[in-house]
Amino acid sequence: MPLRRALPVEPTARSIAPRTGRRRGLLAGFAASLVLLTGAAIAAEGTTTVHPVRVDDTKEVLATIESVRAPQARARIGGTVESLAVAEGDRVKKGDVLATVVDPKLKLQLVAFDARIAALEAKLALVQTDLDRVRQLRASGSAPQSRLDDAETQLTVTQAEIAAAKADKASVQEQVVEGRVVAPDDGRILKIQAVAGQVIMPGEPVATVATASYILKLRLPERHARFMHEGDRVLVAGRGLDVGKKEALGEGRIVRVYPELDQGRVVADAEAPGIGDYFVGERVRVLVATGTRETLVLPEDQVIRRHGLTFVRLAGRGEVPVQTGSRMPDKAGEKPWVEILSGLSAGDEVARP
């Protein structure tokens, strides 16, 4: 059948494919969730009337996985790092012991306090015995009241000395407990900054913990600043810069757009499910919307592919060669659509092959 609306097939039908195929494949996989179809109504007779629709114009950028917070676990006392209980990459819970810092002087102080408390307790027993004797003498009238008062005062003073010694001992014991460096929050050990046997001062960092919450740090050229808004959707590729598999894509949302440009770039944070399994600092490909444009789309099952070329069948006119672009689902996500770059005009009726 002769082609009544056949357009000349330019050499780019084959020659452009090697250069643009890779990027089209990327956008075809990414644009699935960012497109908003508002036209291309299907007629009851099985034909589709082509209408212009508005779709999101997308841009591919590299995002970096970063931790929302990366607090440092610091030594609370000075001393020697006796042991490290974790390694870089280990998952920890808040309060887990990461390392132990010991100060030999604290153990000597505890021994000294034990000896002091023992001596005071022996003195207390002697004072108590003397007080009991004075009370008996006072009851018989053989001892004055002043002697009884002195004995009771001596007992009170000795008890206070024992209490003070025990409080001092408890303070030293608390310093020994503070020698345990604990995780400040749930997460993974990002970096170990001390080694066993190292002398460390109070406040020095021992380990950096990447908290369990991760975000995607986006940096886009300044010209895209007006298109970045909180709540906008983004599409995230798989690990290892994997963009070839459609099932690797995940949907995220922008949660923060920073008001200050960083070296001429807009900085934004996005959240997406599953990025907690990534390495901190790992880069992934992300597709973001940078405006809208008008284009034509058709159901993919109405596009005929033959010998490396693509055609559509116009109602009552025959096959017409077309150039296709991004592949995308409709708004319900049930039927795949494809963008028509050339070969059709608004109002054309396309029949199913």
The domain limits of the chain are 1-68+214-353, 72-209
Q: What is the model's pLDDT at position 32? A: 39
Written as six digits, the tokens of 220 are 């886009």
Written as six digits, the tokens of 30 are 């990414």
CATH superfamily to which 1-68+214-353 belongs: Efflux pump adaptor protein, beta barrel domain (2.40.30.170)
% residues pLDDT > 70 (the chain) = 80
pTM of the full structure: 0.53
Q: What is the model's pLDDT at position 1? A: 38
Q: What is the model's pLDDT at position 114? A: 95
Measured distance CA(335)–CA(42) in Å, rounded = 12
**What is the block-wise mean pLDDT of the chain (353 residues), using blocks of 10 residues?**
38 36 40 40 61 78 85 93 91 92 93 95 94 91 89 94 95 93 90 92 92 84 82 78 55 88 88 77 82 80 85 83 73 64 84 77
The CATH class for the domain spanning 72-209 reads: mainly beta
Neighbours of 298 (CB within 10 A): 20
| CA diameter of the chain | 141
Q: What is the model's pLDDT at position 3? A: 37
Written as six digits, the tokens of 350 are 């396309």
